[in-house]
Structure 1
Amino acid sequence: MPKPYPEEFRRDVVAVARQGEIPLAQVASDFGISYSCVKNWMKQADIDDGQRPATTAEESAELREARKRIRQLEQEAEVMRRAVGYLSRDVNPKMMYPLVLDLAADGIPVAVTCRVLGFTTQAFYKWRKNPVSQRDWDDAHLINEAMDIHADDPGFGYRLIADELPARGIHAGENRVARLCSHQRIWSVFAKKRGLHRKAGPPVHDDLVGREFTAETADATWLTDITEHPTREGKLYLCAVKDVFSNRIVGYSIDSRMQASLAVSALRNAITVRRPAATIVHSDRGSQFRSRKFVNTLAANGLRGSMGRCGACGDNAAMESFFALLQRNVLDRRTWATRAELRLAIVQWIEKTYHRTRRQRRLGRLTPIEFETINQAAIAA
């Protein structure tokens, strides 16, 4: 495309042609331009001077500028309209670069979109060169691991998740974990905020017990629950599994943290000792018993899960009665200095006193060990 002639040169050609002393063809030849070019310049000069009725060059320039501005405003309005629809899908506001690509495909310049959305074109082109940065890649892996950890134990908040990540090969600061967990709504089920009331989680099993805490044979129905007690070092948690047939504690686990692994460990201890088959394992709706680890352990060993209603203590009353007995006989008898001291006292009371010394009227004034020994021999006979 040829470059336009300077305005001053055009004015000089028109001035010479208007003198009328030299024919237009000769003027065109002298200035090295075409004859039609001289005529057009003459015509436009007459229009600009008001000698001909038409649109002047200044008016044409204003009209072109107005049309350009209208087109630009239409493009900006389209960018805003599409941006509102994009953000209504709960997309991270910082990830608007794909919208720029969509608008560019529809003919809207990248510079216009970037100006309206408030970021530079350099940032957009840098993202287009490498759409998935290493930081985004690492964040995606961290979020996946955090969701797996939280699914295994819904009681885990961002602090416990940050503590568990190094064991899975991911090292990240606690603030970063908190930010990503908050964005993904990964919160502990025990988190309580002012004005926020959380409902209990949905049951993962039906209630197969129905407050019928009796059984004809051993290992037909197990009850399980978790209790806690403070020491000067902090709280100690006990998860116990009780056989309804003999009231014997067939498995238990004690730890300083109330996680899903506590319930899983108690269940696995009971399975190792008893080798049950098709046993019903009844619990409340605690997050530890709804966790993926606990449910998978039940399924892997052929056990049937059961859960009571939310807030109905009577649905697991037989287990609550054992914890009440433990509370009176051990936990509240004195102040415990260390977790190890309380742990030893609990184990000794369960294994020595509750199982082998303390007689129960429901068992015909027998201990759980005696009741199982006598009745299992009678059933076998």
Structure 2
Amino acid sequence: MPRSSVYALRSAPGSDRKPGKRGPKTEWSDEALVVEIRTVLSESPFVGEGHRKVRARLAAKGIVAGKNRVLRLMRENGLLTPVRRGRPRGDRSHGGRIRTERPDELWGTDAARFWTRREGWCWFFGVVDHCVTDVVGWHAAKKGDRWAAPEPVRQGVHAQMGGFAKATAAGLGVRHDRGSQYRERAFQAEIKWLGIRSMPAYLGEPECNGVAERFIRTLKEECLVPERLRGAR
């Protein structure tokens, strides 16, 4: 039988097949399902629930509904959990520049863990100039804490500013992520004493610290990871 004849028989009057959406049919209309969704939300001990949790709670009550359907109904009826947008963070496309026009205006710092055959896990801390991408200071330590994090900054100040005293590096900014080593009072107090502005990257936007992040990535690819693999042989 030609394929077209099969479809003609399916849609012919008296056929057992009824036209409509494919897949399993549900006994719950949209209106009835919205009522059940509202009931689930009112019984929840939390302020807001997402559509995945609502669907799971419906399933626990024996009500089976597709994820996309639950999402659609909650969106149409204003039942989705409100999303906290937070403060505007500028151009999220990162179309701006993080490179500076002159050296010693902005340094970026970051850290990485690496494996050694003799010492086990160790830490590397580095500081990179945002203009010329020179490594102005680096430090390796067994413990990557708040005492190790400022060391490459000290080295950079010694080398680039010719000394180490209060306000020696006035006008310089240091870009860092929100790791615990950089948020500690010891790190923040030391760079403030040197006259350095603390410039943390925006939360969830590591591109702000892209100069140091790129250096750490290259260091891992070219030195740290290959050395670890050679040690495993």
TM-score by length of 1: 0.32
Residues 328-343 of structure 1 mapped to structure 2, 5 A cutoff: 328-335=221-228
Match in the other structure for 1:75 = none
Match in the other structure for 1:309 = 202
Q: Give the paired residue count.
A: 130
TM-score by length of 2: 0.52
Structure with bigger RCO (C-alpha 8 Å, 6+ apart): 2
Residues 148-297 of structure 1 mapped to structure 2, 5 A cutoff: 212-232=97-117, 233-275=119-161, 276-297=169-190
User: What are the superposed Cα offsets for residues 138-183 of structure 1, whole Å, 9 maximum, x if unpaired?
Assistant: xxxxxxxxxxxxxxxxxxxxxxxxxxxxxxxxxxxxxxxxxxxxxx
User: What are the superposed Cα offsets for residues 287-328 of structure 1, whole Å, 9 maximum, x if unpaired?
Assistant: 111111111111111111101123322221221111111111
Separation in structure 1 between the aligned mates of residue 205 and residue 102 of structure 2, nearest angstrom: 27
Shift in Å, 1:255: 0.3
User: What are the superposed Cα offsets for residues 98-118 of structure 1, whole Å, 9 maximum, x if unpaired?
Assistant: xxxxxxxxxxxxxxxxxxxxx
Identity of aligned residues (%): 25
* Residue identity matched to 2:152: A
Separation in structure 2 between the aligned mates of residue 334 and residue 253 of structure 1, nearest angstrom: 18
Ranges in structure 2 where 5+ consecutive residues have no aligned partner: 1-88, 162-168
Separation in structure 2 between the aligned mates of residue 270 and residue 305 of structure 1, nearest angstrom: 15
Shift in Å, 1:267: 1.2
Partner SS for 1:261: coil
User: What are the superposed Cα offsets for residues 85-107 of structure 1, whole Å, 9 maximum, x if unpaired?
Assistant: xxxxxxxxxxxxxxxxxxxxxxx
Q: Cα gap change, 1:281/1:333 in structure 2, threshold over 3 Å: closer, same or farther?
A: same
Separation in structure 2 between the aligned mates of residue 334 and residue 301 of structure 1, nearest angstrom: 36
Larger Rg: 1
Compare the two structures and name the one with the higher helix fraction.
1
* Residue identity matched to 1:248: D
Separation in structure 1 between the aligned mates of residue 111 and residue 225 of structure 2, nearest angstrom: 17
Partner SS for 1:226: strand
Partner SS for 2:133: coil
* Residue identity matched to 2:203: C
Residues 34-183 of structure 1 mapped to structure 2, 5 A cutoff: none
Separation in structure 2 between the aligned mates of residue 244 and residue 315 of structure 1, nearest angstrom: 11
User: What are the superposed Cα offsets for residues 207-232 of structure 1, whole Å, 9 maximum, x if unpaired?
Assistant: 9xx86321111100100011111223
- Over the residues paired in the alignment, what is the CA RMSD in angstroms? 2.1
Shift in Å, 1:277: 3.0
Q: Cα gap change, 1:277/1:326 in structure 2, threshold over 3 Å: closer, same or farther?
A: same
Partner SS for 1:262: coil
Match in the other structure for 1:377 = none
